[in-house]
Chain A
Amino acid sequence: MRAVAQRPLLWIVSLATLIAAYAVVASVLQRPDVIPPASDIVETFRALVAAPPPEGAAPMEGHEGHHHHHSSDQIETLQQERVTLPASLGISTLRVLFGLAVGLPLGILIGLWMGASRRADDYLHPIFVLVRSIPPLALITYIMLWLGHSEAHRLIPIVYAVATTAVIPTYHGVRDVAAKYEVAARSLGAHGSLLWSKVLLPAAGPAVLGGLRYSIALAWMTAVGAEMLMADDGMGNFLVGGGMWASRLQTRSDPAVIIVGILALAAAGWAMDAVARLATARLTRWVR
């Protein structure tokens, strides 16, 4: 049982090493504008976690005694625009969830159709291959012409990304896995909705769920990208420091803000992935 006990221990040791190594590098390099020390990161987090008081008072309150006062263009811009970390994260999460809610059923339906019908597969598959080769975020420029700077124009690439990644696992789940059982089920007299709900869908289930985690990761990627390019809220905007598209990255980036943002994104991504993993385990308990 020693191996089992070793695991969390090593994890903690490794995490501690990660933090310690960072602290060491930060203090050795002595360049707080490139590798911000941990204290700066904590301060930044504090500063951006809640909206500043209405008078727009000094960003850092209650930090007397700190010899190093951390502030930057990016933090100030964000605070001026009343952008906070929780709000940004929340908005991005909503976008991701929307993308999943619309994209997953869409992709799964297309995948089911292509997997179940040879004809549909022959006709649709080539088109699908072409369509999915277009990177979702490249589309955003074209969509903007049709829909302008609207929420829809930011959400469509996310839906597109989720849908295209959901098609393939579903397709294989139906064609490779469920097909085996279809013959047996049909010869037992099953057809129509009974065949689908009791045989084909459960059989294809594990494959579909396997692709879920990947769709989630891509949804986050697309959402953050879309926000970096064309939104004034959400994590993408947070990371790039606010401002219109044309002037992105003109605001001097503050690595501390970015690191805070990355940690928040990683936490959110991990949480969603954990939920997906649990759901998958639950729903596929019967898998050998």
Chain B
Amino acid sequence: MPKVRLRRALVALLALIAIYGIAAEIGRGRLPDRIWMGSHYVENVQLLPTFGALAEEGTFLLESRILAESIVASSRRVLIGVLLGSLIGILLGLGTGWAMRFEHLADPWVTLFRFTPALALLPLYVAWFGYGETSKVLLIATGVAVVALLGAHQGVRGVPRAYLDAAASLGAGKRLVFRRIVLPLALPAILASLRIAIALAWVTIVVAELIDAKMPSLGYLLALSGAYPRVPQMLIALATLAALVLVFDFAVLLLHARATRWMKRTAS
């Protein structure tokens, strides 16, 4: 990355941290510290905790291993859900993109799932599979599958005709064309849709874990910190969530870069 960009990025991030620090200091005396919790007041709440308070809370969470266990638990659910969902979604999407008949047959199902917010399925899955891992993982898988399906479908449909014609004129049969032409070209679109799917997965897991409160989980940590409330804990939980989303996103970005090594650099 060019030096100017890097420098500016660092300046921006440092400025953000500085602004927060200042706001926290200013807020210490001035912000209201009584919060109405629906049935009672709670005193002594720092709406903008100082860095000191955050550090203290952070140390506690790390030492008691609460944070680590929550991260592992939530990440595992997301990972399994994403893998399961993308497998199903990609296979179905490749199918609907490649075979017109299959697309028409699958269309009502896809449309139904596509316009149903994944969260709406949560109560249904809980009713069917009870509380616990299964319903959460399946919920994520459903949301991811829909996005991956659309991505794979677009990927297949987006293959430029020129390549298909050239392959046909070289005598390539359908199977060869699918394997050697369509798949490599659909891969970038599939990976791009996976980035969206991952963001969706994390949104879903947070709510699922907020509703079904059980430790260890990041969602429950968040809920708990909201119930007391312990603001430093909440902010740390939020920051951890953001970091995890970034890590997952970065992983897919790497895959995407590898899968598009051959792409031409467009003239700018």
Interface residues of A (CB under 8 A from B): 3, 6-7, 10-11, 13-15, 17-18, 34, 119, 122-127, 129-130, 133-139, 141-142, 144-146, 148-149, 214, 217, 220-222, 224-225, 228-229, 235-236, 239-241, 244, 248-249, 253-255, 258-259, 261-262, 265-270, 273
- Interface residue ranges of B118-168 to A (CB < 8 Å): 118-124, 126-128, 131
Q: A14-B104, A228-B122 are in contact. List 19 more A-B contacts (CB 8 A).
A: A7-B104, A11-B108, A122-B5, A122-B8, A126-B9, A130-B246, A135-B206, A138-B238, A139-B238, A221-B119, A224-B120, A244-B38, A249-B123, A249-B126, A253-B123, A253-B126, A259-B124, A262-B116, A270-B115
Interface residues of A, dominant DSSP: helix
The proximity string for B residues 97-121 relative to A, scoring 1 for CB distances below 8 Å and 0 otherwise, is: 0001100111111011011111111
Contact of A124 with B124 in the complex, beta carbons under 8 Å: no
If A122-B5, A224-B117, A225-B203 touch, whether A130 touches B128 (CB-CB below 8 Å) is no
Contact of B126 with A265 in the complex, beta carbons under 8 Å: no
**In the complex, what residues of B have CB within 8 A of residue A133's CB?**
241-243, 245-246, 249
- B73 CB-CB contact with A under 8 Å: no
Closest CB in chain B relative to A13 CB, distance in Å: 8
16 contacts between A and B (CB under 8 A): A34-B128, A123-B8, A126-B13, A133-B245, A138-B206, A138-B238, A138-B241, A141-B223, A220-B115, A221-B118, A239-B122, A240-B211, A249-B126, A259-B124, A262-B121, A270-B115
Indicate which residue in B47, B108, B234 contacts A141 across the interface (CB closer than 8 Å): B234
Contact of A228 with B211 in the complex, beta carbons under 8 Å: yes
- B45 CB-CB contact with A under 8 Å: yes
Binds A, one of B55-63, B81-89, B169-177, B224-232: B224-232
Closest CB in chain A relative to B237 CB, distance in Å: 8
**In the complex, what residues of A have CB within 8 A of residue B123's CB?**
239-241, 249, 253, 258
Contact of B211 with A134 in the complex, beta carbons under 8 Å: no
- Distance in angstroms between the alpha carbons of A254 and B225 in the assembled complex: 31
